[in-house]
A and B are shown apart, each in its own frame.
Chain A
Amino acid sequence: MSKIRIMLLMLVSLLLVVTFVSSSASGEEVLVYAAFDEPTLRAITDDFTASTGINVKWIQGGAGELFTRIRAEAGRPGADVFLGGSIIYHSLLAEEGLLAIAEAPNAAAIPAKFKDPEGYWFGWYVAPWGYVINTKLLAKELPGVPEPKNWEDILDPVWQGHVLSGHPATCGGGYDFIISQIFRYKRLASLFGFEDPLAAGEKAAWSWFETFEKNVTVFNTACPETIALIAQGQGIIGLSWANDILVWIQKGYPIKLIVPPDCPYAAGGLSMIKGGPNPGTAAEFVNFVLSPESQAINAKAYRWPLNPEVSPPEGAPSWESFTPVMYDLKWAGTNKDRLLDEWDKRIGR
């Protein structure tokens, strides 16, 4: 009997310690849904906490995943701020009335094209999407096969079983990838004088994906997963965000980045969720993320800052060297559900 008492005592004290530890950081806080990498997120939030005393709590997820969550929680959001993820998602949320206007003086420096005129959302960095290639493995497994330089090379059956990509329903880049292929073909279709170039572009894009899919082993839930797997040699070639790929190159893996012409790109977004539990601290946090200090931290993770005062990432190609496909942000947002259904029907994985 005494042993039970001892045990109960131990448990209760352990419980108290745990509760104490987890509640000791109480005080002002801001809750964040972050489609973002942990180290950069931590660096930015540590800075924010140091200068304001406000604690930041977050959960990480794929942009599509968090977007779905905010939509599902409509009216009773579990967080104050949505950080990262393409502005497609942010603009769509604004359209659906799920965001709040954030007063952010630091947003003044952001080019008008990348922010909402009313202040519902802000783009704060851009990044292209490209190939990550395990060069060592390529030489070993497919000697003599040239690296893909464009969007047609990857359709070669020689790549079958060697390609990894991201799932468009959960990984933001996977959806941007679809959009960029549609608008790439749209441009071609209008050059050839199609009556409805967008519809023709979409049709061509789907047939492109249906061929592409045959070479793909896995569509990962989150985009960075792809890079890790390629870096470890679980596949030869992957598709993911250039900034994340550059971080992984820095770690010393035998991988390289190729950004083909007509690459998909996304402006990473930031917005305040309507009805969040801490609107005051949320606005402060949004303003801080847009500040040159935080953008400089972010540039260390090879994201190209949209604040022109901040210098571009060192050791990365210049933004001007890319030729991203321009797309209609609004179309990309309003057609999202339909395109994902289409993906489900045609690709279905």
Chain B
Amino acid sequence: MRINCALRPFDLQRLVTILLIFLLIIFVLFPVFRILLYPKLKDYMIMLSHPGSIRAIKHSFFIVPLSTLTVLCLGYIFAYAQHYTNMPGKKIFKFLALLPILSPPFIIALSWIMLFGPHGFITNFLGIRWNIFGWRGLWMVQSIAFFPYAYLLITGVLEGIDSNLEFAAGNLGAKGLRTFWSITLPLSSPGLVNAALMVAIYVFADFGNPILIAGGWSVLPTEIYRRVIGYNDLKGAAALCAVLLVPTLILFLAARKGLSSRSYVTITGSAIQTEKPLVGGITKWLLFGFCSFFSLLILLVYGTLAVGAFTETWGINWSFTLKYWRVLRGSSGLSNSLLLALLAGLGASFFSLFASCFIYKRRFVGKQFWDFITLLPTAIPGIFLGIGFLLAFNTPPFVLTGGLVIMVLSLLVWNIPLAYQANIAILEQIGPEIEEAALNLGASPMRVFGNITVPLLRTSLLSSFTMGFLRAATNLSIIIFLISPGRTTATVQILASVRYAELGIAAVLATVLFALALLIVGIMYFLTKKSMDMFVGVR
């Protein structure tokens, strides 16, 4: 941006930039390199020839395309139904579709086992027989857990399509789904590819679902976890982390390239037709049927948990009880989760605010590199980040392990890209004119930052705080390596309760965590003037 050109060489802005870069080096680059350099070449060779890791790699490369494609199809149908029909209940569908973001993903796995296990509730009712453990169950659960992300990404894609073409096709006589096949789908395909790349990163990094439902069918993150907790083989685990980073990094780079080569159709400012031509008739009702079915499924998943929290013994004794709620007394897990999520959400929002103003908007040598590093945590799987922080900060010069600080910092780093991207999206749209005007009128650059930039970024800050909060509160993959007694979180407690077969306790904790997430989202919903833009960060 031009405004900075005339400034003195050693000013406050430059100092802030240097400070930000310094923080990025310590908290992003250092943990990454600590992992990559921790195993010797020999350890890499051992891990790459180990039958367990080969199996896990194969499984990962099998399930990721499968789940990603499923999630994309589901998300596309849902988003299409939202934009191209006037079906009843659209708002309810939208709300239900976003619920899985609010809960730890593995909650779905837990509920899924209670419902659809080989002899679960529904399975028995329908009299079907299948083995839910292994890839089938994982596939189904991931399809629900990551569906909202695909839905949000694709909604963005569909909103970016200029409907004039679709209307034109309709006027020229295209009937039924012809417009969809010849106009809508081709136009949305670049964005769709991008969405696929992002969802694939999430699925690659998924840890909670496979650990609960995939049983012995290990994927890379669960294999890494087992190397650490079962064998204390940190070198092997680090080597496998490096292996896991390869596909996620490639996907991330591909997504970035796709984004930069795609013009920002939505924000060109030229007139764009956003009203969509509506489909009707049987297609509409088919879509309605699909959305209803899927929404009911999501309701069922969470309903099962809520019922489980008040049930004496699931499946046997259905009498009402409050005894499991006693777990909340003196339990530090929930308050820790809340505290971590607040700090990590606020921290990431603040950091990204500064980063978008003092890295993204400034011109300096190596700017593109640091811009890239700020976004890099998107590509880092949670399990990688957790082990990275463990390795990086348990020896001098930085000893942070065993406290809440390291947990906050790791979650904060993990959330930075979302917040940063949300800010950039806004900054791209508003242009520099207002800030230039203020500068011309004599305001100092810091005053411009405080009085103009921050208020302009209000929405993106609120939305990135919400998303950051939700992600931190529901995280398991990073936190599980950093807990200590009294410094545990609700998600870890839920996993432990499931392991110790205390389903009532797990259901109580999951329900409360979910309710808190819902509360935060509700507050934000009204603060952002009742828009769902708080989820914009996902895009």
Residues of A within 8 A of B (CB): 1, 3-4, 7, 10-11, 14-15, 18-19, 21-22, 25, 29, 31-33, 37-39, 57-62, 64-65, 68-69, 71-72, 76, 78-79, 137, 161, 167, 169-170, 216-222, 224-225, 227-229, 231-235, 244, 248, 251-254, 337, 340, 344-345, 348-349
Contact with A along B308-325 (1 / 0, CB 8 A): 000001111100000000
Contact with A along B116-129 (1 / 0, CB 8 A): 01111000100000
User: What is the distance, in angstroms, from B315's C-beta to the closest C-beta of chain A?
Assistant: 6
A33→B485 contact, CB < 8 A: yes
Chain B residues, Cβ within 8 Å of A234: 113, 117-120, 132-133
Chain A residues, Cβ within 8 Å of B330: 25
B249 CB-CB contact with A under 8 Å: no
B497→A38 contact, CB < 8 A: yes
A232→B502 contact, CB < 8 A: no
Range, interface on chain B: 35 or more
The 18 listed contacts between A and B (C-beta, < 8 Å) are A14-B342, A18-B335, A31-B484, A37-B500, A57-B332, A57-B485, A59-B492, A65-B229, A76-B401, A161-B131, A170-B226, A217-B215, A217-B216, A220-B215, A224-B501, A231-B315, A232-B113, A253-B313
Most buried by A among B133, B335, B501: B501
Q: Which of B215, B232, B316, B497 contacts A252 (CB 8 A)?
A: B316
CA distance A19 to B50 in the complex (A): 46
B287 CB-CB contact with A under 8 Å: no
Shortest Cβ distance from B123 into A: residue: A233
CA distance A167 to B486 in the complex (A): 27
Shortest Cβ distance from A6 into B: residue: B527
Q: Which of A71, A72, A137, A221 contacts B499 (CB 8 A)?
A: A221
CA distance A244 to B484 in the complex (A): 25
B505→A18 contact, CB < 8 A: no
Shortest Cβ distance from A169 into B: residue: B230
B52 CB-CB contact with A under 8 Å: yes
Say whether, besides A170-B226, A234-B113, A253-B316, A218 and B231 are in contact (CB < 8 Å): no
CA distance A26 to B394 in the complex (A): 25
User: What is the distance, in angstroms, from B477's C-beta to the closest C-beta of chain A?
Assistant: 15
B272 CB-CB contact with A under 8 Å: no
Say whether, besides A170-B226, A217-B131, A228-B503, A32 and B216 are in contact (CB < 8 Å): no
A222→B500 contact, CB < 8 A: yes
CA distance A225 to B84 in the complex (A): 46
Residues of B within 8 A of A (CB): 50-52, 55, 113-114, 117-120, 124, 131-133, 211, 215-216, 218, 226, 228-232, 234, 313-317, 327, 330, 332, 335-336, 338-339, 342-343, 346, 394, 401-402, 455, 458, 462, 483-486, 488, 492, 496-503, 505, 523, 527
CA distance A78 to B403 in the complex (A): 9
CA distance A222 to B212 in the complex (A): 11
A15→B342 contact, CB < 8 A: yes
Shortest Cβ distance from A46 into B: residue: B330
Shortest Cβ distance from A228 into B: residue: B501
A137→B52 contact, CB < 8 A: no
A170→B230 contact, CB < 8 A: yes
Shortest Cβ distance from A247 into B: residue: B501
Q: Which of B113, B133, B232, B314 contacts A217 (CB 8 A)?
A: B133
User: What is the distance, in angstroms, from A71's C-beta to the closest C-beta of chain B?
Assistant: 6
CA distance A10 to B120 in the complex (A): 43
List the 10 shortest-distance A-B pairs measured between CB atoms, nearest first.
Answer: A169-B230, A57-B486, A228-B501, A218-B215, A233-B119, A222-B499, A31-B485, A349-B216, A78-B484, A60-B496
User: What is the distance, in angstroms, from A175's C-beta to the closest C-beta of chain B?
Assistant: 10
User: What is the distance, in angstroms, from A25's C-beta to the closest C-beta of chain B?
Assistant: 7
Chain A residues, Cβ within 8 Å of B313: 251-253
Say whether, besides A57-B485, A219-B216, A72 and B501 are in contact (CB < 8 Å): no
